[in-house]
Amino acid sequence: MSESPRSTGRPAHQNVTFDSNGTPAHGYLALPPQGSGPGVIVIQEWWGLTDHIADVTDRLAAEGFVALAPDLYGGNVAHDSQEAFRLMRELPVERGVDLLAGAVDHLLALPEVTSDTVGAVGFCMGGGFVLYLAAKDRRVTAAVPFYGVIQGEVPDFSNLAAQILGHYGERDESIPLPTLDGLRATIAKQSGVEADFRVYPADHAFFNDGRPEVHDPEASAQAWTATVGFLRSSLSGS
């Protein structure tokens, strides 16, 4: 469990292929400087596995986590919102969750991963998938949706094992703040988990520093510090 990238011969950053319900899937893996650490899944926005998502994966690795960003679009990256919407609509939620469960299998099988469970961090579409995955897979014990958009029906949280820390923008028209109260109440009623939803004076996608028109450095810094601390605390004893 404590082998370093140098001792295993594994590059600190690499593209990987793994099995997802009998189908090959792909992703981007980043290892921490010390060579091992708790596992974290990073789930893309509706744009795809972009440079921003790879950068977030690298940043989590720099904080001591073994981070894996699965490619939900099979190599496709959207260049405008119309294309992003099409790609998102072409990915059924069930298929996305199955692919992510395969990524959890792959991550937990790595000798560099020191935790028995994983965290999941996701953005926009990926934030919704964080909640879908955590609701289905008890191996996820720390869930961090950033402005997570739930597609379709709210998942059944009765099987939830994760603690939840969510980050949202108060000016985000795609996620009206009253809906967070309802989601928090549903999670608590079905699982007993009290989700910690934090709201910032910011827009949707405020954490994406590749989009200067919405990026909020102060809110991003606060959310990042809270996320890293939450993941360390939640995964330290797993």
The residues annotated as belonging to the active site are: 124, 172, 204
* Measured distance CA(23)–CA(211) in Å, rounded: 33
Helix extents (H) in 113-213: 125-136, 177-191
Locate 24 and state its tokens. 């090959």
* Measured distance CA(100)–CA(12) in Å, rounded: 22
Question: Measured between alpha carbons, how far is residue 7 from residues 33, 171, 237 in Å?
Answer: 13, 48, 25
> Which residues are paired to 73 by β-bridges?
none
> Which residues are paired to 171 by β-bridges?
none
Place of tokens 């919704």: 128
User: Cβ–Cβ contacts within 10 Å for residue 132, how many?
Assistant: 23
